[in-house]
Structure 1
Amino acid sequence: MSLANYLGIKQQEISRSKVILTLPVTENVLQPYGILHGGVNAVLAEEAASLGAMARLDVSHIAVGVDISTHHFRPVTSGTLTATATPENVGKTLQTWRVEIRMGSKLTSISTVTLAVRERR
């Protein structure tokens, strides 16, 4: 089972220009204080950016994460998160995606994810 499946991440839209994922906030993703574990934001962001990057590649290439920066703005304790990834820069060897995570209309975190394009082995 993949980490995305284990956490309950659902794919809503995947295209070359936008990826939308959702994640229900359950006890599995909370830290001991009852708020969303910050690492979950990073996982959700990298999943979204990776799917978007892969949508831009042919079958002989893959995208692998090389850097992620996540800023947390507000605590989340329940509900459903929505991650929206859009490409910031797409080159032959690197792609950088911006991922906004929201709870309803409220921005909860922003991530910048950089992925390297590699030949599939």
Structure 2
Amino acid sequence: MDKTSILKSFNERSKNTLMETLDIEYVAVGDDFLTAKMPVNSNVHQPYGQLHGGATAALAESVGSAASNFFIDNKTQFINGIQLSINHIKSKREGMVYATAKNIHKGKTTHLWEVKIVDENDALISVAKMTNIVLDIRKK
């Protein structure tokens, strides 16, 4: 599947989900990364008018989970996030943030990702580490 088709597929799967609610869009894919963007506006603010850490975490987990799909057989397996650790470095009030997941470990049953979130000026906003488990789809 070409890169444009991959991005289109991920974005279509986001309809009627938290990703759509937060306006998360997958925008770039490469051999060793996946990037998504999210606008920073009142929809993702905490009460002090800054980007909510939970929205940032949802962005990180979304891109980290989606990226694991490159390494599984989607007909027989699926991904669940089992651990997310995130450090918030800088606040953000408006603009855009971009989350890029890069694989640290690709095992048969677990995947470990580093997700860096930067703004439109490439300033580091947050850094996350995410672990996914690969599970088999159960037949009904």
| Equivalent-residue separation in structure 2 for 1:11 and 1:99 (angstroms) | 14
Aligned residues: 121
Given candidates 102, 105, 109, the residue that maps to 1:93 is: 109
Question: Structure 1 unaligned runs (5+)?
Answer: none
CA RMSD of aligned residues (A): 1.0
| Equivalent-residue separation in structure 1 for 2:92 and 2:72 (angstroms) | 34
The alpha-carbon deviation at position 13 of structure 1 amounts to: 2.1
TM-score by length of 2: 0.83
Q: Decide whether the 8 Å contact of 1:15 with 1:52 is kept in 2.
A: no
Q: Secondary structure of 1:4's partner?
A: helix
The structure with more radius of gyration? 2
The alpha-carbon deviation at position 32 of structure 1 amounts to: 0.8
Per the alignment, do residues 72 and 10 of structure 1 end up closer, same or farther by CA in structure 2, a change over 3 Å counting?
same
TM-score by length of 1: 0.96
| Equivalent-residue separation in structure 2 for 1:82 and 1:43 (angstroms) | 12
The structure that is strand-richer by fraction is 1
Q: Aligned AA for 2:67?
A: G
- 2:27 aligns with 12
Higher relative contact order (CA 8 A, sep 6+): 1
- 2:123 aligns with 106
| Equivalent-residue separation in structure 1 for 2:30 and 2:107 (angstroms) | 17
Q: Percent identity?
A: 32
Q: Aligned AA for 1:55?
A: F
